[in-house]
Amino acid sequence: MKIMRSVEQLREALSGQQSIGFVPTMGFLHEGHASLLEQARAENDIVVLSIFVNPTQFGPNEDLDRYPRDEIRDQQLAQSAGVDYLFYPTNEVMYPLDMARVTVRSGDDVLCGASRPGHFDGVLTVVSKLFNIVQPTRAYFGLKDAQQLALIEGYVADYFVPVEIKRCPIIREADGLAKSSRNVYLSDREREQAPGIQQALVEAKQALDQGQPLDTVLEKTRTLLQFEGTTIDYVEAVAYPTLGPIDATTETILLAVAVQFESARLIDNLLYTRGA
């Protein structure tokens, strides 16, 4: 595995490659990232991992400064997962002029977009730059960030970006908690509460399977997510991947939740296909 810090260096290495699988991340890698890398490894000649804590997707009161970092462990995981090139840009590399941003016009008024104004503008800005740098054949994103994935798919379609976006499943701890770099923020007590998020989603799925009305299911999910010392950021259902309102024609529902713990905001979701 080679570590690259400049665009020119990476482009030279990638020039003429047949197929490139790309996994963009913010580092502090866990098994969720590893599963993306493994799929990229299986499907491409070359695997590129980028690690960049992108400042433009953090709000002014968010955790940019304390976002967890562990370069050595990340490099070990990347090496084990068969990464060929690890790209570590700095802010100066990624934002040479910062003279334009990608601005989302629809699909960011719900879920995390409503809670985090400008977050997805920052995500699409950096992802579009990374796509231009790496020019991947396929790029891999986890369904844990379901809204992010839908917006990236939308951007790729809307802007004709020549890349195939791969949706990858949520990877969980043994007790069901969705893997996240931010889980490290949790106190012991919070870590015990946190698997309750997925339990609420499992119950939601059962209720939907039983034909209960969506509003009832959402209300029940809200009740189940009332952990002591936490607040619910949102419990919402939207059509997927349009992120628009659910109507009679909606095939796939995204039921997504965000819970604010004292020092971490955790998200999880359920993709539910009607009649399946």
Question: Which of residues 72, 97, 174, 276 is near a copy of itself by CB under 8 A?
Answer: 97
Rounded least distance, CB 155 to a copy of itself, Å: 5
Rounded least distance, CB 70 to a copy of itself, Å: 27
Q: Does 138 contact a copy of itself by CB under 8 A?
A: no
180 is known to lie in a ligand binding site: yes
Q: Does 7 contact a copy of itself by CB under 8 A?
A: yes
Q: Name the residue nearer to a copy of itself (CB basis): 157 or 202.
A: 157
DSSP codes, 4-59: E-SHHHHHHHHTT-S-EEEEEE-SS--HHHHHHHHHHHHH-SEEEEEE---GGGS-
3-class SS at 269? strand
Q: What is the dihedral of CA 147, 149, 152, 153, to 10 degrees?
A: -110
CA 116, 78, 30: angle at the middle one, nearest 5?
Answer: 45
> What end-to-end distance do the CA atoms of the chain give, in Å?
42
Binding map of a copy of itself across residues 142-181, x = CB under 8 A, - = no contact = ---------x--xx-xxxxxx-------------------
Total count of residues recorded for the chain: 276
Q: What is the CA radius of gyration of the chain?
A: 19
Residue in this structure with the two tokens 């433009």, named with its chain if needed: 56
- Single out the residue of 54, 30, 28 nearest to residue 128, CA to CA: 54
17 is known to lie in a ligand binding site: no
The upper half-sphere exposure of residue 70, i.e. CA atoms within 13 Å in the direction of its Cβ, equals 12
To the query of whether residue 119 is one of the catalytic residues in this protein, the response is no
Q: Does 266 contact a copy of itself by CB under 8 A?
A: no
Rounded least distance, CB 19 to a copy of itself, Å: 15
Q: Does 12 contact a copy of itself by CB under 8 A?
A: no
Binding map of a copy of itself across residues 113-132, x = CB under 8 A, - = no contact = -----------x---xx--x
Rounded least distance, CB 54 to a copy of itself, Å: 14
Euclidean distance between CA atoms 266 and 64, whole angstroms: 16
Binding site for ATP: what residues are annotated?
Answer: 26-33, 142-145, 171, 179-182
Catalytic residues: 33
Residues interacting with a copy of itself, by CB under 8 A?
A: 7, 95-107, 124, 128-129, 132-133, 135, 151, 154-155, 157-162
